[in-house]
Amino acid sequence: MWPGSGLNSVYHGWLHGGLVNGAVDGRDGYPEVPPDPIATTEQATLLAAAEPQRLLKLDGHRLIVHPDALPSRVIRSTPGRIEASASPCYAELIVDDVFLQQDVVNGSALKVLFRYRNFGAGTAPERSFGTWVQTSLSAFPPKQPGELEAALVDVRRAYTANVERFAAALLAPPRSRR
């Protein structure tokens, strides 16, 4: 597993919005976001604690959480295994993007793009699946300085919930095509 590279943001307001990372970069007119609220190292810890091998029903798989994020180019252009592993049961769970989406109508949500590939014993994926999942935020970003700890708990809770939502989406039966 690989965590994401940190938090990005997008804001949709009444008179402006849509600027990627306006809040994260502290641009005027955007809600303030604490610096690096869900860093790569924090994501790695949360991923391990969520036990995705259990959630994804990967019995017999040993969880290896890599400490660094992968560049999107590597994620999207590597046809085979990212790690040079000869393991007969090899799967990859990769966090590609993490976004704070703020909207004056719908509020704030943490959106995560997960990518999953299961290779089994082969060198090419037997199954690939990727999707965005999101969880609403109730306390993040903090409105007042004294609310920082509760806000950080909220964003971490949402990240863990997103791991669980992704696992549920991956294991759901495919929709019938009409």
CATH number, residue 66: 3.30.160
Handedness of CA 72, 45, 98, 51 (dihedral sign): positive
Residue 76 lies in a domain: yes
What total of structural domains would you count in the chain?
A: 1
Quote the DSSP letter at residue 74: H
Alpha helices (H) along the chain:
40-49, 52-55, 72-77, 148-171
Residue 2 lies in a domain: no
Residue 87 lies in a domain: yes
pLDDT of residue 104: 81
Residue 176 lies in a domain: no
Residue 20 lies in a domain: yes
pLDDT of residue 174: 82
Residue 132 lies in a domain: yes
107-165: pLDDT as tens digits: 899 999 999 999 999 999 999 999 999 999 999 999 888 999 999 999 999 999 999 99
Is 68:82 a contact under the CB 8 Å cutoff? no
Sheet with 107-120, edge to edge strand ranges: 8-12, 90-103, 107-120, 127-137
Residue 178 lies in a domain: no
81-121: pLDDT as tens digits: 999 888 889 999 999 999 999 888 888 999 999 999 999 99
Domain coverage including residue 135: 8-171
Count of residues in the chain: 178
pLDDT of residue 19 exceeding 80? no
